């Protein structure tokens, strides 16, 4: 591919920070996934658990009820489907329904059975930098050197996963922007993307609609709402693409696709310029 893989978000949740439950109904979620594909998404990432700061977890049965019918329908439509889950049982059911990527924001820390599911299935696995569940994660946003600390903790995850049978080529790293991170940590990690890529794995970045983008040039009192952050999302996505990341995870495929097209025409991405 000449540019990064675009991963479109399908939140099958009632309490997502980004869309407020707009796709909680399974039929609506499937239709939204198809719309993302039509707009240029290479992957649709289906999740049934909100990971916004302070969010509480659904139980296993509820997460399965939310996600598996959507995964199955989108896979049948020909989509490359990713399942966004921290539970091994959900990952296993989603793989059986057609998912080809497991996106685990805990990097297999939340469920000790996750690594074996991924290893046995041979699917790609997104391992995000994570320090705890949403209800408490922001209390853990303390770093001596955020780049060094995140790279070290991701390396520990890589070693743990490979020791449990996950092949190195299955692993995709995610720096976990907004997860146990303050705005200054997020910006440092974006500036340091080459260091994360130097760990030797594909890298997925997700800035989309996150709070730190709402604060760019604003105060807490004038912060942009989640639906007002698409320009900032597209700009950061284009810079991440120029840095050479494997994938970009976004809610609005069209805005980011436009930004990447501009970067390509400018010669900042392969395939553009004179």
Report, as an integer, the average pLDDT of 235-261: 97
Using CA atoms of 88, 93, 94, 97 in order, give the dihedral in degrees to the nearest 10: 160
Tokens standing for residue 204? 């997925």
Beta bridge partners of 126: 103, 172
Q: For the segment 169-193, what is each residue's pLDDT rounded down to a tens digit?
A: 999 999 999 999 999 999 999 999 9
φ and ψ at residue 247, rounded to 5 degrees = -145, 160
Crossing angle of the two packed helices 88-97 and 114-121, in degrees rounded to 10: 20
How many percent of the chain have pLDDT more than 70? 95
User: CA–CA distance from 99 to each of 69, 106, 168 (Å)?
Assistant: 11, 18, 19
Give residue 35's pLDDT.
Answer: 97
Residue 19 has pLDDT above 90, yes or no: no
Q: Considering 131, 157, 181, 210, which one is annotated as catalytic?
A: 210
Q: Please give the span between the terminal C-alpha atoms of the chain, in angstroms, as a whole number.
A: 19
pLDDT at 51: 83
Judge whether 218 counts as a catalytic residue: no
pLDDT above 60: residue 20: no
From the candidates 157, 209, 224, 249, give the one annotated as an active-site residue.
Answer: 249
pTM of the model: 0.95
The C-alpha atoms of residue 197 and residue 177 are separated, in whole angstroms, by: 15
Tell me how many helices (H) and strands (E) the chain has: 10, 8
Respond yes or no: is residue 181 known to be catalytic: no
Report the percentage of the chain scoring pLDDT > 90.
Answer: 87
Give dist(CA 266, CA 53) in Å, integer. 37
**Model pLDDT for residues 30-83, shown as the tens digit of each residue:** 999 999 999 999 999 999 998 877 778 899 999 999 999 999 999 999 999 999
Query: Given this model, what pLDDT does residue 15 score?
Result: 67
């Amino acid at each position: 591919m000449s540019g990064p893989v675009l991963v479109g978000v399908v939140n099958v949740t009632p309490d997502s920070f980004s869309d407020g439950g707009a796709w909680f109904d399974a039929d609506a979620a499937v239709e939204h996934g198809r719309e993302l594909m039509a707009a240029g998404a290479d992957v649709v990432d289906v999740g049934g658990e909100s990971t916004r700061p302070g969010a509480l977890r659904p139980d296993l049965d509820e997460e399965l009820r939310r996600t598996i019918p959507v995964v199955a329908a989108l896979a049948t439509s020909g989509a490359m489907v990713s399942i966004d889950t921290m539970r091994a049982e959900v990952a296993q059911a989603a793989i059986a329904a057609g998912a080809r990527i497991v996106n685990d924001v805990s990097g297999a820390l939340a469920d000790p059975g996750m690594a074996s599911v991924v290893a046995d299935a041979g699917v790609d696995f997104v391992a995000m930098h994570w320090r705890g569940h949403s209800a408490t994660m922001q209390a853990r946003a303390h770093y001596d050197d955020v780049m060094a600390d995140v790279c070290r903790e991701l390396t520990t995850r890589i070693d743990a996963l490979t020791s449990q049978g996950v092949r190195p080529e299955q692993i995709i790293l995610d720096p976990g922007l907004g997860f146990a991170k303050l705005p200054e940590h997020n910006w440092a990690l974006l500036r340091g993307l080459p260091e994360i890529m130097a760990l030797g794995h594909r890298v997925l970045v997700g800035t989309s609609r996150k709070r730190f983008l709402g604060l760019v040039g604003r105060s807490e009192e004038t912060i942009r709402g989640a639906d007002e952050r698409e320009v900032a999302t597209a700009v950061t996505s284009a810079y991440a693409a120029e840095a050479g990341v494997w994938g970009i995870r976004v809610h609005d495929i069209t805005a980011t696709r436009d930004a990447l097209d501009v970067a390509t025409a400018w010669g900042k991405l392969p395939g553009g310029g004179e």
